A and B are shown apart, each in its own frame.
Chain A
Amino acid sequence: MSKANLLDRRQVVSTLLADRKDVVAIGGLGASTNDMCAAGDHARNFYLWGGMGGAAMIGLGLALAQPRLPVLVITGDGEMLMGMGSLATIGLQKPSNLSIAVLDNEAYGETGGQTSHTSATADLVGVARACGIVDSRSVTTMAEVEAFAKAVHDVTAGPRFANVKIDSANLERILPSRDGTYILNRIRGDLGFQPI
């Protein structure tokens, strides 16, 4: 069901990645990883098909290893709720090149649309800010998405967090590769690392 005034997830992700330059993007388990693929496959796309709750931490490890590269985690509200402690870990480390965008449809879309905690009481922007991620934004317009997409490239002013309210429409699945070794080594190769 689509509600009025909520953003379209594909349009949000396309905008986040439209002028991506050297961004490494991590897509959380679920529709977020499909949205990233729908925006166009890329050697620096880290698609997750499992490890629920781990997307933000993968982003942190990458951001600390490559401090001059913008690293963008794109994930869903359910995946972020499972890894909520990682916001505290990120708030402590303060990686200035890490950005997290949560696509918040207030539901577990992959499993039948059961409502998530963000539909009622949980405020992820408040959590992120309280964990020390000072630049934490509630995003409800495409203009705000565009501003966040631009900010992602500033690797001196993060970490930053955006909770983007999207509609809960289930879209056609655009499936990226499921081969984790391929996905990871493609990123490493693009960053100039040799196989072991």
Chain B
Amino acid sequence: MHARADAADTAAESSTHWPDDIFATLQRFDVRQVPYVPDAGHSRLIQRVLASSTMRGIPLTTEEEGVALLAGAWAGGQRGVLLMQSSGVGNCINMLSLIPILRFPFLTLVTMRGEWGEFNPWQVPMGSTTQGVFELSGVKVLRASTAAEVAAVLEAAAAQAYNALTPTAVLLSQRLIGAKVFTK
């Protein structure tokens, strides 16, 4: 589980609501297919998606599957969003080439590891290159670092991804989701 390693940083109450803000925004934008590789930071949102009657949560074996899935969904008239952790961004690289070639709406929400109080050094290399990988691949990057700004960032990201066909990634910072605490 993720737990706040810096509990004084954000009010506990607002830190629990932001996944619901994301869900509400995705619902408003008529997002129908939600492929994901699980991450603790996405667990609440995944629960909401799996309980939804309008969205279909689709567990993947690797994140690149989700990029291809969203291309097919759009060919069939549906919008989607890909949920993953920063490590998964590296798994997507070649498949990201479908986005400029096919020009389908692409939105991904990425929970960050390898930054802000990280315990596990193995998360740091990919976490450090996540933003760069997206930018080199033609995906615009927005970031939410506090619970209070999640709703506005999501709104902007969904609007530009779905209305302007601007491929967009939202990085949900480790400061927001809380550094993972390893305890026995």
Residues of A within 8 A of B (CB): 24, 26, 46, 50-55, 57-66, 69, 83, 85-86, 88-89, 92-93, 180-181, 183-184, 187-188, 191, 193, 196
Contacts and interface: CB of A to CB of B under 8 A. Distances in A.
A interface: dominant SS: helix
Contacts of A59: 72
A61 B75 contact: yes
A56 B102 CA distance: 16
Contacts of B61: 85-86, 88-89
A89 B94 contact: no
Interface residues of B, number: 34
Interface string B101-126: 11110000000000000000000000
Given A51-B98, A65-B78, A85-B65, A196 B71 contact: no
B162 to A, nearest CB: 8
Contact of A62 (B56, B72, B165): B72
A54 B73 contact: no
A50 B72 contact: no
Nearest to B58: A93
A93 B58 CA distance: 7
Interface in B58-79: 58-62, 64-78
Contacts of A51: 68, 71, 94-95, 97-98
Contacts of A196: 163, 165
Given A89-B61, A181-B103, A184-B102, A61 B69 contact: yes
B178 interface: no
B60 A61 contact: no
Contacts of A52: 94
B33 interface: yes
